[in-house]
Amino acid sequence: MGIIITNGRIVSSEGILEKDVRIVGEKIVEIGLNISKAGDKIIDAKGSYIMPGAIDVHTHFDADACGIVADSFYTGTKAAISGGTTTIIDFAEQVKGGTLREALNQWNEKTEDNTYTDYGYHMTISDWNKETQKEMEDMVKEGITSFKMFFAYKDLQVGDGAIYEALKKSKELGVLISFHCENGYIIDKLREEAILNGNIEPIFHMETRPPALERESISRLISIGEVVNTPVYIVHLSSKEGYEEIQRAKERGQKVLIETCPQYLLLNKDYYLPRGQDSFEGAKYVMSPPLRDIESNKVLWKGLNLGEIDVVATDHCAFNYKVQKELGIDDFTKIPNGAPGVENRFKLIYTYGVREKKITMEKLVEVLSENPAKIFGLYPKKGVIKEGSHADIVIFNPEYKSIIKAEEQIQNVDYNLYEGFIQYGRFEYIFLRGQIIVEKEKIINSTPTGKYQRRGKPKFHNN
């Protein structure tokens, strides 16, 4: 006995198909017409799209500030699946002096029986040495086929020599390294100068991280990648300046994969300006890189539409406004960096991308599901509605309208970046490996059933 989803429109990057989908157990077994068998449960998807579950390849659940965690893996993945995301890839973080294995063990403890979505990890490298180099091989055997390194943040950044060696290793292993591109050395100087001059408000977070410093480290990364002759992945691209630098490299024939996030498409630097009584409210938008100008929003939308930007992820990293963001009330450098968004990505990109004709429905599936699955070694198990694939399916009815309100959200955090934004769509059903988790926007399966996904080697476009 299986489940038939009928009367819907199946979306992939290649087009929209009016066919039925049959699920048995955890998988899609057939796509076609008149495929139901006796005893099948029928789900009528009339008026809705049938889409692969979205994949969020950039989350930081269980992020701690002053001993408090806003979104744990439990609440964060519950919010994710409520918002159409059925798989997440979180960053397991090596600490300086620690090993990759220790980070993996720590993340396994956090996630075990504690996630509503399927999940995997990227491994953050912040201490580069011979042991780390050797451990990259061990991580690949564990199904961790992507790593992350930083050009920014005192405690996390490594030097250019380390980046060169790690890229050589990633090339040898056939895996991918993603990079946070902002010049941390100069940013530290700008921050010191700002505080010395009494510039303590949240707006100076943005002022001390100018787009030129994103462009500079993108340019440096691209040059190192060119010398090693291997692709690189840039996380959370925020600026026109950074985008144009990448385009120049691509014109020279270099392989650069790009991720951006809803906040860099939909919000801009005016959010740091004091509003009304509360001059600290900009702290809600303290994330790195910071929000940029409206021109950057436009350039990033255009890049998505042209297929130059590959992925939209969230960089969900939630800290409460009260107590946690308030750590920086007298000094913006003490505001924990990061913002929530895992629950809102799907409908925001649909509402402000597809409905406003900046991208097509096919492109939405490409950047939320298909490309993330391909780039991060989950395809065709995930990211596509196809025979043999996991039945991670979103039945999305585009006609409903609602307003984003923090007080109604599942994310365990006391504000929402998009408070008051109109959004379209309703999740009629969300399946994770054939199991209905969400029905008419409500979680109906209260036990977290997410499983760790061993990922294969990345597949890039044209390879």
Site residues, Zn ion (CB under 5 A): 180, 315
Residue 286 C-beta: closest distance to ligand URP, Å: 7
**What are the start-end ranges of the E strands in 340-390?**
none
With CB under 5 to 8 Å by kind, the binding choice for 390 among ligand URP, Zn ion, none is none
With CB under 5 to 8 Å by kind, the binding choice for 240 among ligand URP, Zn ion, none is none
What contacts 172, CB < 8 A, 6 or more positions away? none
What contacts 197, CB < 8 A, 6 or more positions away? none
Q: In terms of CB distance, is 180 or 374 closer to ligand URP?
A: 180
With CB under 5 to 8 Å by kind, the binding choice for 337 among Zn ion, ligand URP, none is ligand URP
With CB under 5 to 8 Å by kind, the binding choice for 287 among Zn ion, ligand URP, none is ligand URP
Q: In terms of CB distance, is 321 or 400 closer to ligand URP?
A: 321
Residue 374 C-beta: closest distance to ligand URP, Å: 22
Distances (CA, A) of 8 to 19, 43, 224, 357: 7, 10, 47, 21
54-59 and 422-432 strand pairing: unpaired
**Angle made by CA atoms 393, 375, 19, in degrees to the nearest 5:** 30
Residues at the site binding ligand URP, with contacts judged by CB under 6 A: 60, 180, 287-288, 315, 317, 337-338
Q: In terms of CB distance, is 124 or 423 closer to Zn ion?
A: 124
In which region does residue 457 sit, left (phi positive, over 0), alpha (psi from -120 to 50) or beta (all else)?
beta
Q: In terms of CB distance, is 54 or 395 closer to Zn ion?
A: 54
User: CA 378 to CA 54: how far, in whole Å?
Assistant: 12
Residue 58 C-beta: closest distance to ligand URP, Å: 7
Residue 72 C-beta: closest distance to Zn ion, Å: 17
Q: In terms of CB distance, is 22 or 58 closer to Zn ion?
A: 58
Q: In terms of CB distance, is 162 or 317 closer to ligand URP?
A: 317
What does R_g of the chain's alpha carbons equal in angstroms? Answer: 21
CB distance 459 to 375 below 8 Å: yes
Dihedral angle of Cα 272, 341, 50, 381, to the nearest 10 degrees: 130
**What are the start-end ranges of the E strands in 380-441?**
393-403, 422-432, 435-439
CB distance 214 to 289 below 8 Å: yes
Q: Which residues of 133-143 are buried (b: 16+ CB within 10 A; e: fewer)?
A: bebbeebbebe
Q: Name 20's bridge partners.
A: 32
Q: In terms of CB distance, is 12 or 344 closer to ligand URP?
A: 344
Residue 249 C-beta: closest distance to Zn ion, Å: 20
Residue 58 C-beta: closest distance to Zn ion, Å: 5
Q: In terms of CB distance, is 340 or 353 closer to ligand URP?
A: 340
Residue 78 C-beta: closest distance to ligand URP, Å: 20
From first CA to last CA, the distance across the chain in angstroms is 39
Residue 263 C-beta: closest distance to ligand URP, Å: 9
With CB under 5 to 8 Å by kind, the binding choice for 338 among ligand URP, Zn ion, none is ligand URP
